[in-house]
Amino acid sequence: MDTTLKVALCEDTKKDIDLLLKYIKQSGISAICDTYSSCEEFLHNFLAGKYDLIFLDIYMEGINGIDAAAKVRLTDSSVMLVFTTTSLDHTLESYRLKAPIYIEKPVTFEETRGALKMALEKRKAADYITLLINGMYKDVSLDRVLYFETKNHTVNVIGLSETMCTSQSIKLSHIESLLPDTFFRCHHSYIVNMKYVRGIDKEFKIFTMQNGDKVHIRHQLFKKALQIYEKFLFSKTKEA
């Protein structure tokens, strides 16, 4: 399993970015870091599933860190958010946006390392399945999978940030047997992750996924699909 963290640092001063980069390097935890000097720049480059951990300065010109985090949460409910700030006035917003760490500046090495360790443990605890991709066995994080599609005796794995194709002849039913109940076999060619379903077309019997893809629902399974979709909508409402 690849344990290199993908980290975004969004700070409006070079001093703050350099300090975080220094502490990340000293932590001994493998990480690839992207740096942004504004929330506008960060949001322009952000994709759901792109990062394991995001450090966000709250007080920035233009879009602030709280508003940027809210935009992130519209498409990515699992990425770990860490707010860095000169004030403790936004702890309630931090809780609402599921940001487990709220750091008052100046950040310390211990706080930075603690955030990295938490993100690493979260990644290790995520559900994975192992598939043969491009001739190599790869651990695929189920939390980053939108849906599975079978085509020409192989399976396409459509993820939040990439699409992979299995390089082995494998049945979708085998993959289905490995999946948790957040996944639903809605068609002989598709298994969807209900977490990333954004709509259902009752007339044409189609799921609309987070990335805009349309996934067909088998006629005989439509009633069950609708029940499962409504159940997920209800659970999201309770969480909010």
Judged against a pLDDT cut of 90, whether residue 160 lies above it is answered with no
Residues 134 and 96 in one domain: no
Mean per-residue pLDDT over the chain, rounded: 90
Residues 133 and 121 in one domain: no
Q: Which of 33-47, 165-179, 202-216 has the lowest mean pLDDT?
A: 165-179
Residues 235 and 154 in one domain: yes
The pTM for the full model equals 0.69
In this prediction, residue 159 carries a pLDDT of 93
Residue 222's domain is classified under what CATH number?
2.40.50.1020
In this prediction, residue 175 carries a pLDDT of 92
More confident residue, 197 or 122: 197
Q: What number is the average pLDDT over the span 184-195?
A: 97
Domain boundary among 94, 125, 156: 125
Residues 134 and 37 in one domain: no
Beta bridge partners of 163: 158
Residues 9 and 121 in one domain: yes
Q: What number is the average pLDDT over the span 164-185?
A: 89
More confident residue, 148 or 232: 148
Residues 33 and 19 in one domain: yes
Residue 9's domain is classified under what CATH number?
3.40.50.2300
Judged against a pLDDT cut of 80, whether residue 87 lies above it is answered with no
Confidence of residue 240 (pLDDT cuts 50, 70, 90): low
Judged against a pLDDT cut of 80, whether residue 89 lies above it is answered with no
In this prediction, residue 9 carries a pLDDT of 99
Residue type, 230: E
Domain boundary among 64, 96, 125: 125
Q: How far separated are the first and last CA of the chain, in Å rounded?
A: 32
Please state whether the peptide bond connecting residue 100 to the residue before it is cis, i.e. omega within 30 degrees of 0. no
More confident residue, 88 or 154: 154
Judged against a pLDDT cut of 80, whether residue 2 lies above it is answered with no
Q: Quote the tokens at residue 3.
A: 């344990």
Q: What percent of the chain has pLDDT over 70?
A: 95
Going by the DSSP 8-state scheme, the letter that residue 4 receives in this structure is P
Residues 119 and 135 in one domain: no
Q: Say how far apart CA 15 and CA 124 lie, in whole Å.
A: 31
Domain boundary among 93, 125, 157: 125
Residue 55 lies in domain: 5-125
Q: Quote the tokens at residue 75.
A: 């498409």
Residues 118 and 135 in one domain: no
Residues 16 and 79 in one domain: yes
Residues 10 and 110 in one domain: yes
Q: Where are the beta strands (DSSP E) in the chain?
A: 5-10, 31-36, 53-57, 80-85, 101-104, 128-133, 136-141, 145-151, 154-159, 163-165, 183-187, 190-193, 197-201, 206-209, 214-216
In this prediction, residue 97 carries a pLDDT of 78
For 207-235, b where at least 16 C-beta lie within 10 A, e where not — what string?
Answer: bebbbebebebeeebeeebeebbeeeeee
Residues 92 and 112 in one domain: yes
Q: Say how far apart CA 181 and CA 188 lie, in whole Å.
A: 17
In this prediction, residue 125 carries a pLDDT of 78
Contacts of 123 (CB under 8 A, 6+ apart): 3, 5, 52, 141
Q: Total domain count for the chain?
A: 2
Residues 121 and 67 in one domain: yes
Q: What is the pLDDT of residues 92-118, one digit of tens each?
A: 677 677 787 889 999 999 999 999 999
